[in-house]
Amino acid sequence: MTSQPKQPAVEVRNLCKNYGSVRALRNVDLTIEAGEYFVLLGPSGGGKTTLLRTIGGFHKATSGQVLLNGRDVGHLPPDQRSTTMVFQAYALFPHMTVLANVGYGLSVAGLPKREVAEKSAAMLDMVGLTGFADRKPHELSGGQQQRVQLARAMVLDRDILLLDEPLAALDAQLRKDMCLELKHLQEKVGITFIHVTHNQEEAMTVADRIALVADGELVEHGRARDIYRAPERRFTASFVGENNLLTGHVSDVNGVSCTVDVAGAQLKVQKRGKEVRGGQSVDLSIRSELVGLSRASDANAGADGHSILGSYDESVYLGLTTSHLVRLPNGVEMISRSISDSLDDMPEPGEPVRLHWQPEAIRLHVN
Amino acid sequence: MTDDFANPWLYRLKWAYMLLIVTTLMAPVMYVMYISFNANGFGANEYVFTWEWYGLIFQDQLLLGALRWTLSLAVVVTLIAVPMALVSAKLYKQSTNKLPIVFLMLAPLFVPPDILGSALLVFFKNLNLTFAWFGDLLGVSFMDGWFQLGFSTAVIGLIIYTIPYSFIVILITMGRYRSEQTEAARACGADGWRAFWDIEFPQIRAGVFSACSFTVILCFNEYTRTSLLKGGFDTFTTVLISQMLNTGMSPQSYAMSSLVSFIAIAVIGSIIVFTMIRSDSLSRTARAKAAPVMST
């Protein structure tokens, strides 16, 4: 007997969504495996919420397919899909108690009252709200309200939980705490979470995989660590982490690497399979924490292909780290980030400095 | 008074102004109530308290008949106009192009009542003639009386008159409702109707009931359209006005007017008192619960 291959939880094929002349989603293809914590990350207005709501049945796709567990559900309304949703805010039913809110979906499903009460109480316990059952939503804090939403969604025992910026209305500390709670809950229940956010720290904390969505397109997707450490696209590098973006022209191509002319410096960069030709305009990215800073002197003045000269601008103290801003000869600003106080002797503004990095730290982007 | 720097005398003056306005508005009603208990009726030198006129109300078949007609009109108009207004308000909320809906729904307010009433009168008469002619062509007579002046034409006229008010009242309460709640209910498995009935309606119920009360009051209050479209001066307001114009109001008319006012004030007053008590009780409960309960 051969076992059936496991169906992906969500498959989106060539999905388009138009609002009149505005194209909110353009030919999006995406596969999300069952049990994954998947994050749709991107700037506001990029289409990530539209994609989530189309998966959930709150929008009808203009063209393309949405498959949940292998079944085309494009024609089904939200109440007939195997998804449930946590909204950004204002989605609790204010006239019902917390317990009634959590049990609403079970009541709709026709479960006996006793079973509804038992399951709801158990789920409240799971999200840490035992003792709050008789309260009304307005008697809860923002974080507690979001936990009630989570309980209301998870008690339904659906395969896929959609989270539309669930932490956006919370303060920074609460958001951090809730991120971890969400991650632990997902690991505990094992269902598929699809989480929309514009906050990269939130995305990094919870995600198994991240997809970047901007201008209605799926820019790039992959494991959270890969998206951060090895962005393929320039947009990803600009949106995730603190990357220095440099634009230059290819001056030499040899084997696995090429040389790019940036602000008079000849920078060597690995091609990583990308096709480039001499004279082509390309982008380079390098994370600010991988850029070292030293005073320009005779000892380190040689052009090694992995450093660039500039003049020191200023430093910005950020607590744990300090960002050092350096102006290149072409006017572009680069940032070198280091652990605060690790640089004892800070350069003076206007002093010539050299920014340097390991050969594998810099990445090539070809559009 | 919430502004610590406000002049306390100005604050008291505002209260006095408000009381003056309310007294001015209510004084005529109070005066009618006062007369309704006078055994010697309106304009008498001597005031003798009596319940007699209230007892006679139930023997005045003209007044009772008028009250019955108006109540029937009010009930039917409410049952039709308020759901229509509710559906229109929901359409307004869902629509991206809201201006045409508001214009269409509020248009009847901008037509003077006698013009609208007479326009409808002419329209119904022509419609009646058309159906009678069409019936003659077909050799049938059942359509002849469809648009003869009577209860149904008065109902149509009153619906046109009351629906803008219901629409506005319901729309105001809908303004606080967040559509995310309907979506959340759908995400919990509720279909569109269930989401409306379980989640939205309980939150706009006050507006719907207010629209019902408002419609009933408007039906009692209306004279021009009702008198033109009902055919015969036999509704409550038309009877009172024709009495006043022709023979002067009878003592039992004062009693009937007062009784209706008493009932309206009692009903609306009870709703306000109940709402205030409930609101106070809810805030006390909320304060009691505000003692922190630690989540685990």
Note the pLDDT tens digit of each residue in B79-109.
Answer: 999 999 999 999 999 898 899 999 999 998 8
Average pLDDT, stretch B163-181? 91
Q: What is the pLDDT of residue A68?
A: 95
Which residues of B are less than 8 Å from A88 in CB distance? 180
Interface contact A56-B296, CB threshold 8 A: no
Residue B219 confidence (pLDDT) above 70: yes
B291/A contact by beta carbon, under 8 A: no
**Cα–Cα distance, A47 to A49 (Å, whole number):** 6
pLDDT category of residue B290 using cuts at 50, 70 and 90: low
B107/A contact by beta carbon, under 8 A: no
Interface contact B187-A84, CB threshold 8 A: yes
Q: What is the pLDDT of residue A300?
A: 55
Residue A302 confidence (pLDDT) above 80: no
Cβ contacts of B139 within 8 Å, gap of 6 or more: none
Q: What is the pLDDT of residue B193?
A: 95
* Nearest-neighbour CA in chain A from B92: distance (Å): 19
Q: What is the pLDDT of residue A313?
A: 94
Residue A285 confidence (pLDDT) above 90: yes
* C-alpha separations of A141 from A138, A147, A173, B290, B293 in Å: 8, 10, 14, 11, 12
Higher pLDDT, B86 or B256: B86
Residue B12 confidence (pLDDT) above 70: yes
Paired residues of A258 in beta bridges: A253, A269
**Cα–Cα distance, B53 to B254 (Å, whole number):** 8
Higher pLDDT, A216 or A171: A216
Which residues of A are less than 8 Å from B198 in CB distance? 93, 104, 108
* Nearest-neighbour CA in chain B from A108: distance (Å): 6
Cβ contacts of A21 within 8 Å, gap of 6 or more: none
pLDDT category of residue A135 using cuts at 50, 70 and 90: very high
Select the residue of B185, B202, B289 nearest A95 (Cβ to Cβ): B202
Residue A299 confidence (pLDDT) above 80: no
pLDDT category of residue B294 using cuts at 50, 70 and 90: very low
Tokens of A100: 């009634």
Q: What is the pLDDT of residue A143?
A: 87
pLDDT category of residue A336 using cuts at 50, 70 and 90: very high
Name which of A75-89, A249-263, B55-69, B73-87 the model is least confident about: B55-69
Residue B233 confidence (pLDDT) above 80: no
Q: What would the pLDDT profile of A83-124 be if each residue is shown by its tens digit?
A: 999 998 779 999 999 999 999 999 999 999 999 999 999 999
Average pLDDT, stretch A207-223? 95
Select the residue of B181, B189, B192 nearest A108 (Cβ to Cβ): B189
Q: What is the pLDDT of residue A173?
A: 83
Give the chain A residue whose CA is nearest to the CA of B195.
A108
Name which of A35-44, A111-120, A205-214, B139-148 the model is least confident about: B139-148
* Nearest-neighbour CA in chain A from B187: distance (Å): 5
Average pLDDT, stretch B14-36? 92
Which residues of B are less than 8 Å from A85 in CB distance? 183-184, 187
Q: Show which residues on chain A lie within 8 Å of chain B, measured between beta carbons.
A: 56-58, 77-79, 83-85, 87-95, 104-105, 108-109, 125, 128-132, 135-136, 138-139, 144, 147, 149, 152-153, 156, 162
Give the chain A residue whose CA is nearest to the CA of B186.
A79
What average pLDDT does the structure give for chain A? 91
Do the bridges between strand A10-19 and strand A22-32 make them parallel or antiparallel, or are there none, so unpaired? antiparallel
Interface contact B187-A139, CB threshold 8 A: no
Residue B2 confidence (pLDDT) above 50: yes
Q: What is the pLDDT of residue A333?
A: 94
Q: What is the pLDDT of residue B53?
A: 87
* C-alpha separations of A259 from A191, A288, B177 in Å: 47, 21, 60
Q: What would the pLDDT profile of B120-161 be if each residue is shown by its tens digit?
A: 889 988 998 898 899 999 988 888 878 888 888 889 999 999
Higher pLDDT, A230 or B290: A230
Residue A10 confidence (pLDDT) above 80: yes
Interface contact B181-A77, CB threshold 8 A: no
Name which of A88-97, A324-333, B144-153, B280-289 the model is least confident about: B280-289
Interface contact A108-B186, CB threshold 8 A: no
Q: What is the pLDDT of residue A165?
A: 92
Residue A20 confidence (pLDDT) above 80: yes
Paired residues of A337 in beta bridges: A323
Helical spans, DSSP H, in chain A: 48-56, 98-108, 113-126, 142-154, 172-189, 200-206, 224-229, 234-239
pLDDT category of residue A280 using cuts at 50, 70 and 90: very high
Q: What is the pTM of this model?
A: 0.81
Contact of B77 with B226, CB cutoff 8 Å: no
Q: What is the ipTM of this complex?
A: 0.85
Q: Comparing C-alpha atoms, which of B212, B215, B214, B201 is closest to residue B173?
A: B201
Residue A216 confidence (pLDDT) above 80: yes
pLDDT category of residue A3 using cuts at 50, 70 and 90: low
Interface contact B183-A58, CB threshold 8 A: yes
Q: What is the pLDDT of residue A5?
A: 63
B183/A contact by beta carbon, under 8 A: yes
pLDDT category of residue A303 using cuts at 50, 70 and 90: low
Calculate what percentage of chain B has a pLDDT beyond 70.
94
